[in-house]
Amino acid sequence: TMGNWLVNHWFSAAVLAAWLGINIFLFTYYFLFFDRDERYFYTRAILGSALAWARASAKCLNFNSMLILLPVCRNLLSFLRGTCSCCRRTLRKQLDHNLTFHKLVAYALALLTAVHTIAHLFNLERYNHSQQATDGSLPAVLSKMHLQGSDKWLNPIHSNQTTVEYVTFTTIPGLTGVIITLALILMVTSSTEFIRRNYFEVFWYTHHLFLIYFAGLVIHGIAGLVRGQTEKSMEKVHPHHCAYYLTHKDEDEDCSHNCCEDPEFGSIPAESWKWVLAPVLLYIFERILRVWRARQKVVVTKVVMHPARVLELQMQKKGFRMEVGQYIFVNCPAISLLEWHPFTLTSAPEEDFFSIHIRAAGDWTESLIDTFQQQKLEMPRIEVDGPFGTASEDVFQYEVAMLVGAGIGVTPFASILKSIWYKFQQADQTLKTKKIYFYWLCRDTGAFAWFNDLLASLEQKMAESGKADFLTYRLFLTGWNNSIANNVALRFDTATDTVTGLRHKTIFGRPMWNSEFAAVATAHPRSVVGVFLCGPGPLAKTLQKSCHQHSSLDPRKVKFYFNKENF
């Protein structure tokens, strides 16, 4: 199983190893640098090892802040996906893990922020303690050096009547630190699965605090409160020779043989901007591109209201070109100027329009459905950004494809099945796919209604062209009541299905995936099988496990490759 995982995910594993490796290297290198470098001998005399903890975590924070925006540059990912269309599918498929990597970097930022903040709280406490000390110790002497001249200071606290809290809220690093930490906490807590699915608006708006995060990050180090000895001063008064003199100069009044000038200190220059400048510029370009694309006119050509409050929108837009299973972001200015929501395209590239199916799930979708139901004369304006590529584009690259859709998650497969239908009509020779297995898991029968026509026409078309066995599909009803059960019992002998009116019967309950995979492996002992899912996380884990278990280690025998839609 581990071997199969590495074969399927070697690129992900390599990226993860490189990311972890760079983080570990940066942390270790800068920890040892600030813990041992002679320029920070006097700084360490006051702060101890908390200096190294703060600086090492700061470097890693800069590195991860540089990475956090890259996985959400959708146009960049589409471009990369297009440029490596000739690459192996395993490589292209890894681009679908963009949000997983984004989350991983975010969790690293949260952890490093905690380390950095705690270290600096210790630093402030030690600075304050040294400033108030009168025992003639090295930290006490160093803390009084601001009295020698305006640029001589090492300890940023120059008053005895101050507290850690006061410094935190009155200095640039303190205040920006508090603000960016609060922004990060709000972004992380509001992006949980539950809030994203049920309160998308909360997630959407709080995530835009990233603007405050980056602005704060760039300003954070400008004041240069942490200082070290300057190179010029090091040459004249090296701490090895002169640290003792600092605490004993009162005893050596005639200054005959071992005199040392006072050391001079300089700030560590702010460098966060160097790390984040390129990705921030790239992201600004990305957003400009999105705005420009969104401003292009979209014509809604047809509106269909399906059962179970599913709205179908058929649209046209100049220059719009799509592939199967891609998705678009949709905005309706009448509801909200800022909110963009992702929807998978349900049309085929061969059609002269593009369509989406929208289920009522949250405030925005409810408002959109209501708006279209009420507007009989004039259609509300719709803005579209996309299309963006995901794993389903690869479906025709496999000899055998297993398509699994849960609930409204059937949408990318509506596009694929339609496209196959058109390819059959046009007798397309480029179609590599020899067999498709389609599984749809659904809680209630209403959600099957809009898909019935497509499956019925597909069934008929394939029977007419002598390819009736090309598509095997199974519909699983996972939530059902007694009235459905009684109806099924009474009409068990009918040629078509009670629930959908199709020739293939609806199965009640959940699929036994082990037996489904075993059957496919037996039927196609030497094929490469693509498994495509649009559905919940737990189902993804089950299917991934089945892919690993049923793939043969022998390269000449059956292999299952798992793909999941990521929004």
**Minimum mean pLDDT range among 16-20, 96-100, 446-450, 458-462:** 446-450
Residue 543, pLDDT > 50, answer yes
Mind spelling out the 3-state secondary structure of 254-315?
CCCCCCCCCCCEEECCCCHHHHHHHHHHHHHHHHHHHHHHHCCCEEEEEEEEECCCEEEEEE
Residue of 453 and 173 predicted with greater confidence: 173
Whole-number Å distance between alpha carbons of 469 and 436: 9
If you average pLDDT over each of 41-50, 315-324, 461-470, which comes out highest?
41-50
Q: What is the pLDDT of residues 370-383, one digit of tens each?
A: 999 887 678 899 99
CB 272 within 8 A of CB 65: yes
pLDDT category of residue 2 using cuts at 50, 70 and 90: low
Q: What is the pLDDT of residues 149-207, one digit of tens each?
A: 777 899 999 888 888 888 889 999 999 999 999 999 999 999 998 898 788 888 989 99
Residue 490 is predicted with a pLDDT of 43
Q: How far apart are the first and last CA of the chain?
A: 27
Mean pLDDT of 503-517: 83
**Minimum mean pLDDT range among 6-10, 111-115, 137-141, 266-270:** 6-10
Residue 408, pLDDT > 80, answer no
Tokens 């800068």, residue located:
30
Q: What is the pLDDT of residues 329-342, one digit of tens each?
A: 999 999 988 889 98
Residue 324, pLDDT > 50, answer yes
Mean pLDDT of 429-454: 76
Residue 399 is predicted with a pLDDT of 87
Residue 81 is predicted with a pLDDT of 76
Residue 44 is predicted with a pLDDT of 96
Residue 457, pLDDT > 60, answer yes
Asked if omega into 511 is within 30° of 0 (cis), the reply is no
Mean pLDDT of 514-518: 93
Whole-number Å distance between alpha carbons of 41 and 161: 27
**Minimum mean pLDDT range among 180-184, 287-291, 367-371, 439-443:** 439-443
Residue of 479 and 559 predicted with greater confidence: 559
Is 0.75 surpassed by the pTM of this model? yes
| C-alpha distances in Å from residue 173, one per residue of 124, 220, 386 | 12, 5, 40
> H or E element: which one contains 359?
strand 354-359
pLDDT category of residue 466 using cuts at 50, 70 and 90: confident
**Minimum mean pLDDT range among 75-89, 99-113, 153-167:** 75-89
Domains, the chain: 20-171+223-248+260-289 (no CATH), 297-388 (2.40.30.10), 391-407+432-446+467-478+503-535+545-566 (3.40.50.80)
Residue of 258 and 187 predicted with greater confidence: 187
**Minimum mean pLDDT range among 185-194, 211-220, 258-267, 486-495:** 486-495
Joined tokens for residue 183: 């922004």
DSSP string across 452-465: HHHHHHHHHHHHHT
Residue 72 is predicted with a pLDDT of 93
Q: What percent of the chain has pLDDT over 70?
A: 87
pLDDT category of residue 109 using cuts at 50, 70 and 90: very high
Residue 483, pLDDT > 60, answer no
> Phi/psi at 534 (nearest 5 deg)?
-125, 100
Q: In 3-state terms, what secondary structure has residue 6?
A: helix
pLDDT category of residue 491 using cuts at 50, 70 and 90: very low
CB 420 within 8 A of CB 436: yes
C-alpha closest to that of 381 among 368, 391, 393, 370: 368
| 388 Cβ neighbours under 8 A, 6+ residues apart | 74, 75, 77, 78, 326, 327, 328, 329
Residue 564, pLDDT > 60, answer yes
Residue of 162 and 328 predicted with greater confidence: 328
